[in-house]
Amino acid sequence: MDLGVLAAGIAVLAGIGAGVGIGIATGKATEAIARQPEAAGKIQSALIIGAGLSEATAIYGLIVAIIILFVK
């Protein structure tokens, strides 16, 4: 088996962490908005910034996997 394929598979696993992180953050943000509806704007802004940073990690993993597969 080619080790490049294995390395690409491991690189794509970064998406799992991003998905879990975004899910937990969304749940906590929903709880926070339920407790303090007047702070919804600030909470939503922080959630969107955090989700963007977390999603960037998943995209970096995908890019690394593509580079590993196609640049040999």
- Tell me the pLDDT band of 17, cut-offs 50, 70 and 90: confident
Lowest-confidence region among 10-14, 22-26, 48-52: 10-14
Question: For residue range 23-44, what is the model confidence (pLDDT) as tens digits?
Answer: 999 999 999 999 999 999 999 9
Structural domains of the chain ordered from first start: 3-70 (1.20.20.10)
Residues 6+ apart with CB under 8 A from 43: 29, 32, 33, 36
- pLDDT in the model for residue 14: 85
Q: What is the pTM of this model?
A: 0.76
